[in-house]
């Protein structure tokens, strides 16, 4: 059933093609007729045949007609009188004539010499045959037709290829073979033409075979028949095969661009006549691959230092499929905006006041700290001034301020003792301009040697920003290491008992005491 439907489909296509061709063929607007004056050449070396070639203009407008050269190099002609371009101009409905003297370098016999005329307005060419007897005596009856046929058929054909079936007809005697009919017939091929074969000539006829592009692989048999005078002189059957035609997939990419987004529609078509499976590859970059997605999903491979999107595609003959690939950098923009917002927030909320604390001079005795100098560094790192600055420094109870503690530095505005924190120092500034710095320095000492780790708590700085917001900054904690406390000395040994003679001196000692 499927085979019958397929054959019917092919027949319908051929019928439609023939109908379309019939609608587009330009009708003949002129006719060519041979009018012999003398069609005999007794001596080919001296004599010529005398012919008129009449051209009748059937068109509605004046036309110019050109006489073309003869196909057979053994024959030549001379036009009388000979125009420069071998052309004549004929009015509509009238007839013009070429006057020819025809010579042939051939053996005795009866010949058909093709003559061709072309219309210069339409480009159409019409042929006719000049029949000429060569020899002192023309035969009363031509010999019986005797010719051989040789056929060449390609064993394999694919729909995209150009192929030719060649039929060679060899005329074995002096008979002129006119209207030799050649027919080609198979499921896929239908050809029919007539040719003229001159005496002792081998005529080669080539048929161009054009298969339908979507024809499926199959086997066929071509029947070749050669007929002459209503009789079949040759018939032969030749097997051939329509083979698979599997070209690379045809790829068409349509691109639609939007803001930071690109949408590609990739159309893949199998133009072959057999199913095909292959990998579809599209070059990309690491960045693009990371921000791309597709339907169906892709895989990525590296080849020769390049990165490719890869899809596995399977298509039947003449089938197509689509891949939708989207590359969007909007997420990257969103991420960048979030980072910028976070940085802006951090900058907006970061503390404009830098407070650092360090020791610049530490004195030790026996590995223990005896006195040291502490420096507090303040800087306004913002672009706006800060005001109402209050600095509070907490000094541990194990050290005391020296008399010259604030020599060379500003003095605190308040200083008082705290039972738990030790000594509290308070400094005040009216304003600190952008980029301005301040140094506060003080000295402390200890009555007792300090062993182990000495810790000074962070300095607290309170201030007001330009917008009126109150902020607070803390410095680092100072931690000073010393040597370990040396071990306690051992107790002294008891003195031995005094000798007896000491008692002898007691009165003297008692006297001295008195």
What's the rounded mean pLDDT across residues 252-273? 93
What's the rounded mean pLDDT across residues 10-19? 50
Q: Give the per-residue pLDDT at 158.
A: 87
Does a structural domain hold residue 343?
Answer: no
Contact 476, 356 (CB under 8 A): yes
Q: Does 36 score more than 50 pLDDT?
A: yes
The percentage of the chain sitting over the pLDDT mark of 90, rounded to a whole number, equals 44
Do 57 and 104 have their domain in common?
Answer: yes
Does a structural domain hold residue 7?
Answer: no
Do 378 and 439 have their domain in common?
Answer: yes
Do 376 and 301 have their domain in common?
Answer: no
Contact 227, 181 (CB under 8 A): yes
* Range scoring the smallest mean pLDDT among 2-6, 65-69, 392-396, 465-469: 2-6
Query: Could you read off the pLDDT of 324-362 as tens digits, one per residue?
Result: 999 999 988 899 999 999 988 877 667 888 999 998 878
Does a structural domain hold residue 141?
Answer: no
Do 255 and 299 have their domain in common?
Answer: yes
Structural domains of the chain, count: 4
DSSP state of 490: P
What's the rounded mean pLDDT across residues 112-129? 88
User: Which tokens sit at 275?
Assistant: 């199913």
Which residues does 262 contact at the CB level (< 8 Å), separation at least 6? 255, 256, 326, 327, 328
Do 119 and 161 have their domain in common?
Answer: no
Does 372 or 308 have the greater pLDDT score?
308
Q: Give the per-residue pLDDT at 287.
A: 87
CATH code, 280: 2.60.40
User: Which tokens sit at 167?
Assistant: 């039929």
Does a structural domain hold residue 90?
Answer: yes
Identity of the highest mean pLDDT range in 212-216, 318-322, 419-423: 318-322
Q: Give the per-residue pLDDT at 73.
A: 83
Written as one string, the DSSP assignment of 377-412 is: EEEE-SSS-EEEEEEEEEE-TTSEE-TTTTTTSPPP
What's the rounded mean pLDDT across residues 371-395? 91
Cα–Cα distances (Å) from 92 to 34, 59, 64, 118, in that order, read 20, 6, 11, 16
Q: Does 505 score more than 50 pLDDT?
A: no
Does a structural domain hold residue 486?
Answer: no
CATH code, 36: 2.60.40.10
pLDDT confidence band for 416 (50 / 70 / 90):
confident
| Domain limits for position 444 | 353-481
Query: Could you read off the pLDDT of 96-106 as tens digits, one per residue?
Result: 998 988 998 88
Identity of the highest mean pLDDT range in 101-110, 208-217, 302-311: 302-311
pLDDT confidence band for 136 (50 / 70 / 90):
confident
Buried b vs exposed e over 365-394: b needs ≥16 C-beta within 10 Å?
eeebbbbbbbebbbbbebeebbeebbbbbb
E strands along 316-365, which residues? 320-328, 353-365
Does a structural domain hold residue 181?
Answer: yes
Q: Does 369 score more than 50 pLDDT?
A: yes
Q: Does 22 score more than 50 pLDDT?
A: no
Does 455 or 427 have the greater pLDDT score?
427
Does a structural domain hold residue 289?
Answer: yes
Residue at a domain's end among 178, 208, 242: 242
Contact 46, 101 (CB under 8 A): no
Written as one string, the DSSP assignment of 10-25 is: HHHHHHHHHHHHHHHS
Residue at a domain's end among 207, 242, 277: 242
Q: Does residue 296 have a cis peptide bond before it, meaning omega lies within 30 degrees of 0?
A: yes
Do 260 and 229 have their domain in common?
Answer: no
Q: Give the per-residue pLDDT at 19.
A: 45
Does a structural domain hold residue 492?
Answer: no
Question: Which among 472, 453, 264 is positioned nearest to 353, based on CA atoms?
Answer: 472
Number of alpha carbons in the 13 Å side-chain half-sphere of residue 206: 6
């Amino acid at each position: 059933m499927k085979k019958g439907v397929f054959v019917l489909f092919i027949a319908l296509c051929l019928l439609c093609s023939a109908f379309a061709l019939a609608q587009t063929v330009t009708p003949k607007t002129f006719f060519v007729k041979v009018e012999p004056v003398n069609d005999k050449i007794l001596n080919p070396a001296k004599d010529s045949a005398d012919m008129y070639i009449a051209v009748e203009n059937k068109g509605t407008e004046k036309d110019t007609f050109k006489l073309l050269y003869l196909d057979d190099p053994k024959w030549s002609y001379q036009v009388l009188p000979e125009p420069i371009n071998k052309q004549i101009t004929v009015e509509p409905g009238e007839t013009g004539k070429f006057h020819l003297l025809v010579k042939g370098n051939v053996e005795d016999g009866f010949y058909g010499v093709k003559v061709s005329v072309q219309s210069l307005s339409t480009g159409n060419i019409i042929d006719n045959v000049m029949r000429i007897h060569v020899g002192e005596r023309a035969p009363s009856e031509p010999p019986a037709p005797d010719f051989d046929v040789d056929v060449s058929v390609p064993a394999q054909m694919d729909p995209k290829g150009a192929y030719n079936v060649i039929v060679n007809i060899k005329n074995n005697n002096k008979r002129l073979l006119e209207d030799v009919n050649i027919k080609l017939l198979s499921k896929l091929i239908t050809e029919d033409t007539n040719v003229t074969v001159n005496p002792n000539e081998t005529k080669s006829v080539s048929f161009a075979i054009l298969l339908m592009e979507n024809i499926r692989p199959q086997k066929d048999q071509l029947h070749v028949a050669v007929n002459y005078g209503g009789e079949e002189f040759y018939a032969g059957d030749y097997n051939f095969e329509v083979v698979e035609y599997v070209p690379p997939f045809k790829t068409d990419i349509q691109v639609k661009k939007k803001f930071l987004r690109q949408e590609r529609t990739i159309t893949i078509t199998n133009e072959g006549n057999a199913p095909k499976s292959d990998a579809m590859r599209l070059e990309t970059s690491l960045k693009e691959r990371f921000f791309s997605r597709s339907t169906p999903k892709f895989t990525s491979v590296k080849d020769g230092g390049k990165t490719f999107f890869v899809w596995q595609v399977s298509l039947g003959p003449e089938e197509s499929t689509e891949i939708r690939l989207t590359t969007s950098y909007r997420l990257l923009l969103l991420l960048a905006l979030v980072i910028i917002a976070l940085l802006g927030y951090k900058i907006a909320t970061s503390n404009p006041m830098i407070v650092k604390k360090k020791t610049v001079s530490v004195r030790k005795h026996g590995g223990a700290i005896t006195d040291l100098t502490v420096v507090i560094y303040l800087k306004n790192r913002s672009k706006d001034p800060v005001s109402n600055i209050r600095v509070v420094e907490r000094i541990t109870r194990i050290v005391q301020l020296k008399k010259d503690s604030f020599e060379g530095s500003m003095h605190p505005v308040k200083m008082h003792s705290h039972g738990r924190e030790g000594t509290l120092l308070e400094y005040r500034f009216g304003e600190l301009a952008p980029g301005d710095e301040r140094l506060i320095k003080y000295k402390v000492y200890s009555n007792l040697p300090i062993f182990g780790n000495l810790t000074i708590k962070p300095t607290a700085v309170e201030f007001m920003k330009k917008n009126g917001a109150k902020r607070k900054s803390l410095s680092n904690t100072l931690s000073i290491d010393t040597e370990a406390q040396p071990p306690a000395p051992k107790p002294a040994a008891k003195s031995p008992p005094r000798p007896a003679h000491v008692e002898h001196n007691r009165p003297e000692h008692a006297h001295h005491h008195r």
